[in-house]
Amino acid sequence: MQDAFTPTSLLVTGGAGFIGSNFINHFMAGNPGCRVINLDLLTYAGNLKNLAAVEENPDYRFVKGDICDAGLVAGLLAEGEVDAVVHFAAESHVDRSITGPDIFVRTNVLGTQTLLEASRLHAERVAGFRFLQVSTDEVYGSLGAQGYFTEETPLAPNSPYSASKAGADLLVRAYSETFGLATLNTRCSNNYGPYHFPEKLIPLMIHNILKKKPLPVYGDGLNVRDWLHVKDHSVAIERVLKLGKPGEIFNVGGNNEWKNIDIVNLVCDLMDERLGRRPGESRGLIAFVKDRKGHDRRYAIDASKLKRELSWEPSYTFERGIAETIDWYLANQGWVEEVVSGAYREYYEKQYGQH
Ligand code: NAD
Ligand code: TYD
């Protein structure tokens, strides 16, 4: 294990999104005195309400802006005397990448390269500077019924989203190999928890069950995902940032594989209990719809390197995490209603209207 790196000033990108905001809330609670600049463009997926807990903190600063704006990024790194970048900003939804891939290449590839280039120049003046790229297991492609992705698994992305993330990861590698930039790269499985945008499977199902709307399950519903609570992901990122050896990749996963249909059934049953509906009632809303194009069959991640080298373990059981997540959505209907109004309605009609 490396000697611990103690950041004094972080630039977090995409910190108003699902994982970025959970990370900032977690990190600032545990690292008083470390300054955090949150650079976020506030696309449809960004929401400052996620950050109510830190907005009054004098060490926190929000900047609305684009990671593709090289001048802005360079200015923030210099002014903020930043000694680490934690890079979350991305277009993150696979279905949107199928209907409109361009923005995924711009934000995920060009945006990452812009940050890397500014970081390379900045690092010449700041000893110990680190760049942490937050990525996904989807860069490894799809598994059959057996096996796990390790850090050595060749990249074989299948969707425009995962291809753009793989492109970004390879640029991170190139900046480490060519320029000696101290980079770290995490690749995590599917996250769930509070502030998850309701276009993604779990919050979409919670929302539709509540509204008694159809529950669209793609294909045969037997695709498998590994689910990790977003707070466990946040802890993993903090640990890699502080203790990871530069140049390394760390897989992050929950060892918690679920077939989509089983997770939808579980969410239905937990919701029925909470809403006082008759057992099985919400399962009646399930509608098998046309499959996603290029739908990856199974993701499963071997996170043993992170466990072995950095002593990380998930703290949430799925039973507790999913129950708390459902309760969070039920208690925060105002947040959901705001998010699903406006532009998201149009997306929803386009994505599910024809099914
Ligand atoms: P999200 O879509 O909820 O949030 C993305 C954030 O990035 C938003 O706040 C958005 O406003 C911001 N953003 C988008 N374009 C920007 C730009 N050009 N400049 C500045 N900000 C911009 O995404 P998420 O689910 O929180 O994912 C965060 C990161 O974690 C992504 O890099 C994603 O690839 C990765 N990841 C996600 C998961 C998951 O399950 N959600 C799993 C593994 C890895
Ligand atoms: P998603 O939450 O979009 O995450 P990812 O595609 O990054 O894994 O989808 C999780 C799984 O759920 C995936 O196999 C696709 C499936 N899915 C549905 O069956 N119906 C839906 O409406 C959505 C959004 C996803």
133 contacts 186 by C-beta, under 8 angstroms: yes
Measured from the CA of 46, which atom of ligand 1 is nearest? Answer: 9
Integer CA distances (angstroms), 139 to 149, 158, 163, 196, in order: 10, 8, 7, 21
Integer CA distances (angstroms), 92 to 33, 217, 253, 259, in order: 31, 19, 18, 21
In the chain, DSSP finds a helix count (H) and a strand count (E) of: 13, 12
Average pLDDT, the chain: 97
| Identity of the residue numbered 93 | H
Question: What is the Rg, in whole angstroms, of the alpha carbon atoms belonging to the chain?
Answer: 20
* Whether the predicted pLDDT of 2 surpasses 80: no
For ligand 1, the distance from its centroid to the CA atom of residue 226, given in whole angstroms, is 18
- In this prediction, residue 354 has a pLDDT band, given cuts at 50, 70 and 90, of low
Measured from the CA of 66, which atom of ligand 1 is nearest? Answer: 19
% of the chain at pLDDT higher than 90: 95
The pLDDT of residue 132 is 99
* Whether the predicted pLDDT of 292 surpasses 80: yes
Mean pLDDT confidence for 10-34: 98
Measured from the CA of 219, which atom of ligand 2 is nearest? Answer: 19
Tens of pLDDT, residues 123-154 = 999 999 999 999 999 999 999 999 999 999 99
Tens of pLDDT, residues 35-81 = 999 999 999 999 999 999 999 999 999 999 999 999 999 999 999 99
3-state secondary structure at position 188: strand
DSSP label at residue 153: S
Strands (E), the chain: 9-13, 35-40, 60-64, 84-87, 130-136, 183-188, 190-192, 215-218, 224-229, 249-252, 257-259, 286-289
Question: Is the distance from the beta carbon of residue 88 to the nearest atom of ligand 1 less than 6 Å?
Answer: yes
CA dihedral 195, 204, 333, 273 (to 10 degrees): -110
Any idea which residues carry the catalytic annotation? 137-138, 161
3-state secondary structure at position 301: strand
C-alpha–C-alpha distance, residues 258 and 183, integer Å: 32
The pLDDT of residue 301 is 98
The pLDDT of residue 3 is 74
Question: Is the distance from the beta carbon of residue 190 to the nearest atom of ligand 2 less than 6 Å?
Answer: yes
Who contacts 91 (Cβ-Cβ below 8 Å, separation ≥6)?
A: 43, 97, 103, 104, 107, 108, 161, 164
**What would the CATH number be for the domain defined by 9-197+227-257+297-317?**
3.40.50.720
Question: Is the distance from the beta carbon of residue 133 to the nearest atom of ligand 1 less than 6 Å?
Answer: no
Residue that the structure tokens 């090289």 belong to: 70
Tens of pLDDT, residues 195-243 = 999 999 999 999 999 999 999 999 999 999 999 999 999 999 999 999 9
Between the two ends of the chain, the Cα-to-Cα distance in Å is 51
Burial bucket for residue 83 (CB in 10 Å: 0-12, 13-18, 19+): buried
Strands (E), 76-139: 84-87, 130-136
326 contacts 270 by C-beta, under 8 angstroms: yes
For ligand 1, the distance from its centroid to the CA atom of residue 42, given in whole angstroms, is 10
What does pTM read for this prediction? 0.98
* Whether the predicted pLDDT of 341 surpasses 90: no
CA dihedral 275, 278, 283, 285 (to 10 degrees): -70
Question: Is the distance from the beta carbon of residue 18 to the nearest atom of ligand 1 less than 6 Å?
Answer: yes
For ligand 1, the distance from its centroid to the CA atom of residue 272, given in whole angstroms, is 31
The pLDDT of residue 205 is 98
The pLDDT of residue 355 is 58
